[in-house]
Structure 1
Amino acid sequence: MIKKLIFAMSFFMVIAVSGQKMNDKDAVTAAAEKLRLAMISGEKPALESLILPELTYGHSGGNIDDATEFVEKLVSKKSDFVTIDITNQNINIVGNTAILRHHFYATTADAGKTPGDVTLDILLVWVKIKNDWKLLARQAVKSEKKK
């Protein structure tokens, strides 16, 4: 009888943990979508609500921004995303950390310049703080074509 009870409890724990992983993946997907929209809108409160103060934001050209620089460039339109399309997204959760990779295709109008196109592969590192997922790190590399 005790073996059956232990087996049943173990089974339910596995189900609960599996369900939590899926809920976390959904939550990270939602946070990444909010970030995409905030990067297009350049709305300061939206951007700040999604990132940690310790953010390190790596550009494909090698520049690295901290949290303040990241937000300021988008709010001032120094970095201006007109559109952002995300494809091939993959999320792997380890504890309270989510590693998200995706392909990023955007139209830009940085500092009012003629629109340009950007094609990148992105790595995002999200950390779960209480019940919210916050961006800790981002690194972009240039990609040859839209996937």
Structure 2
Amino acid sequence: MIKKLIFALSLIMAITLSAQKMNDPDAVKAAAEKLRLAMISGEKSSLESLILQELSYGHSGGHIDDAQEFVEKLVTKKSDFLTIDVTNQTVQIVGNTAIVRHHFYATTADAGKAPGDVTLDILLVWAKVKNDWKLLARQAVKAEKKK
């Protein structure tokens, strides 16, 4: 009887811990930070490890990249981020999906051009796959100018 009770309590604790980990905004923030660093480095394997093949990556100018195009642009430095700073980040988790919003300020040198500045507001959609958060969608919009 005691063994059954201990087993049942252990099972309940394991399920509770698993559910807490799944709804852990810090894990989503960590994935977003890995993405930020991978976008700066242009490291192909790092980028590919963070995204789903079904990725829809929307730019503020209207162009939408698929997963292959997103990775290729960063690896070849067609899109070259020298710095990326993220502020005002929020995370909302709904089941196996996380919605991340943040302000994005970057210095770029796309295709070897002189450095430029980019200021955007970003929406990221992350999907929980096994134990990892993977980027499913991203949409950028030009940041609203403060009055």
Give the TM-score taking structure 2 as reference length. Answer: 0.85
Q: Is 1:52–1:134's contact at 8 Å kept on the other side of the alignment? A: yes
How far apart, in 2, do the equivalents of 1:57 and 1:46 lie?
Answer: 17
CA distance in 2, matches of 1:47, 1:69: 12
1:119 aligns with 2:101: no
1:133 aligns with: 133
Q: Which secondary structure does the structure 2 equivalent of 1:136 belong to? A: strand
Distance in 1 between the 2:107 and 2:44 partners? 20
Q: Which residue of 1 aligns with 2:6?
A: none
1:140 aligns to what SS in structure 2? strand
Q: For residue 3 of structure 1, what is the aligned residue in structure 2?
A: none
**CA 1:104–1:89: 2 relative to 1, 3 Å:** same
Structure 1 residue identity aligned to 2:79 = S
Fraction of identical pairs, as percent: 82
Deviation at 1:114, TM superposition (A): 0.4
The number of residues matched between the two structures is 134
Q: Are 2:42 and 1:42 equivalent residues in the alignment? A: yes
Structure 1 residues 68, 124: CA separation in 2 closer, same or farther (over 3 Å shift)?
Answer: same
CA distance in 2, matches of 1:137, 1:22: 19
TM, length-normalised to structure 1: 0.85
Q: Which amino acid aligns with 1:99?
A: I
Which residue does the alignment assign to 1:99? 99
Counterpart-to-counterpart distance in 2, 1:66 and 1:124: 14
Do 1:119 and 1:145's aligned partners in 2 also have CA atoms closer than 8 Å? no
Gaps of 5+ in 1: 1-8
Q: State the Cα RMSD in Å.
A: 2.1
Contact persistence 1:21–1:93 (CA under 8 A):
no
1:8-59: CA deviation from partner (whole Å, max 9, x where unpaired): x9xx88xx47x71686211100000000000000000000000000000000
